[in-house]
Structure 1
Amino acid sequence: MSALLKAGALPEGEGPLYLRLQALIRGAVEGGELRPTDALPSERDLAEAFSVSRVTVRKALTGLVEEGVVEQRQGSGTFVSGGHRKLQQGLSHLTSFSADMATRGRRTTSDWLLRALERVTPVEAMQLALSPGDLVCRIHRLRRADGKPLAIERACVPATILPDPALVETSLYAAMRAAGRHPVRALQRITAANLDADEAALLDVAPGTAALSITRVSFDEEGRPVELTQSQYRGDAYDFVAELSLSEQGTP
């Protein structure tokens, strides 16, 4: 009998059933109870074992496929992925690190690197439509998921929105929403970069390791820039995925 079915019950908690099932499967993989290439029970068996619907099972497995924890083979079933697993982040929706990890059932923590009110730089002033001498709230953090360092985020928000850095407890976007000026869309640029010694030490990798460097400018409902964030994501832990469709002008 599969190690999953032996569990007999989902982890306790108040979250959605599919997230709790995801956490159970992920834990079995990370704990070595399920090994690379092992087959998972069928959707029907999982649904019966944990008294959930097959829709719930399918939603849980879809999320784990997106994370790279498992893979589905047409006509064969679902299997634990082999080798190193990367997190996958879609590019079609604006979401925060905290919200993204929460949907995966992962616990997020932050190491504060800087919380301060400072004068805007010329580059920041141009990106945020501010005047020279204006104040900005700087929030620099090392972001972790289940204790593993994944990204360094350096956010800059006009002080007219966040006059006190202490207003940000866990989620920057939650604090901005409370202030009435949260982002609804963003422009994001992703480039390749190599981590310097300080960044590599924070992310627990070797200096020069490949990373994804991301610059994002976010805008509120009225089209005003409200956030400039520059991030370094571990290249060995994260993939960004975009779904594309053929335009009307395209030809086969």
Structure 2
Amino acid sequence: MVELSRLIEHVKTKSDLSEQNATPLYLRIERGIESAIMQGLVAVNDALPAERELAAALGVSRVTVRNSVRVLVDKGILVQRHGAGTFVAARVERAPNQIMGFSEDMHIRGLTTRAIWLDRSRGTPTPEECEALEIMPDSIVSRLYRLRLADEKPMCLEHAVLPESILPDPTLIDRSLYSWLQGHDRRPTRCLQTVSARLLDVSHAHLLGVPTGSACLYVERKSYLCQTGLTKAAEQREETETQIPKRSNSDRPVEFVRSFFRGDLYEYVSEINI
């Protein structure tokens, strides 16, 4: 529950409403509201006071408040729900010790997912993909390149590459790759994952709807399937689909993923036992 008096006092202080300032008024109020959210005066999923109420309490026009809110919505800090109001958006947290696909990850957080397909194709692997998947240069791989959305907000760009023996036809994947892999006894059992901070180039930033040079989390993952974890049926299918020699009692690389997550909406949380 938002305590209006504390919120208004904080916004007034951070917005310098009583001072002459070259910064447009709506941007100063936007800064004050964002600061209040960061300080926890308005919690995640809490509704912001109505536009009319904020305008009256701050002594500014409703148009000014509306413009401030619009900036915060564009930044992903607030979300507007038709007929319900304006709410503080949830940042998506991900525990790195869990192997799950994007759809599963968002579903457990109550977010609705959608994908915009940028590429579904087959081809020969790049040298980097050959090394990651431990395959020969003349092998065939399936590529899945998607813009992933959560509650209709662009969340990440995901480029997955899998050997033909694991995914023979990329058009078989409509929504969740991991659901399909699960149904065919090919879901990864472990992965090696690297997370690093990067700045988005113009093409990635455009697709994610953020300015060029915005910060992102770059996640590179190589996933493995335990050979002994394959069912007999799956092993029989693989023998007919691939000429790659099998290695007994070892994990086999089955997926190489590179993802660019919006830094303003997505974060990793790690728990370490000491």
TM range (shorter): 0.5 to 0.7
Q: Give identity over the alignment, percent.
A: 37
Q: Is the 8 A contact 2:45 2:89 kept in 1?
A: no
* Structure with the bigger percentage of helix: 2
The aligned residue for residue 63 of structure 1 is: none
The correspondence for 1:227, drawn from 246, 249, 255, is: 255
The aligned residue for residue 142 of structure 1 is: 147
Name the CA distance, whole Å, in 1 between partners of 2:253 and 2:201.
Answer: 29
What SS does the aligned partner of 1:193 have?
A: strand
Q: Is the 8 A contact 2:45 2:90 kept in 1?
A: no
What SS does the aligned partner of 2:110 have?
A: coil
The aligned residue for residue 103 of structure 2 is: 98
Letter in 1 for 2:110: G
TM-score of the two chains, using structure 2 as the length reference: 0.60
CA displacement 1:206-251 (0-9 Å, x = unmatched) = 00000000100000122101000000000111110110112xxxxx
What SS does the aligned partner of 2:226 have?
A: coil
- After superposition, the CA RMSD in angstroms is 2.6
The aligned residue for residue 203 of structure 1 is: 208
Q: Is the 8 A contact 2:47 2:88 kept in 1?
A: no
- Indicate the structure (1 or 2) with the bigger Cα radius of gyration: 2
The correspondence for 1:237, drawn from 261, 265, 268, is: 265
Query: Any gaps of 5 or more consecutive residues in structure 2?
Result: 3-43, 51-76, 79-86, 228-250
The correspondence for 2:175, drawn from 164, 170, 173, is: 170
Name the CA distance, whole Å, in 2 between partners of 1:225 and 1:29.
Answer: 40
The correspondence for 1:110, drawn from 102, 115, 120, is: 115
CA displacement 1:26-61 (0-9 Å, x = unmatched) = xx9376479xxxxxxxxxxxxxxxxxxxxxxxxxxx
- Report the Cα offset of residue 86 of structure 1: 1.8
What SS does the aligned partner of 1:141 have?
A: strand
**Larger CA deviation: 88-97 vs 111-120:** 88-97
TM-score of the two chains, using structure 1 as the length reference: 0.65
Matches within 5 A, 1:1-252: 29=45, 32=48, 85-222=90-227, 223-246=251-274
**Moved segments of 4+, more than 6 Å:** none
Query: Any gaps of 5 or more consecutive residues in structure 1?
Result: 3-27, 35-67, 70-81, 247-252
Letter in 2 for 1:234: R
What SS does the aligned partner of 2:185 have?
A: coil
Name the CA distance, whole Å, in 1 between partners of 2:176 and 2:47.
Answer: 29
Name the CA distance, whole Å, in 2 between partners of 1:83 and 1:180.
Answer: 40
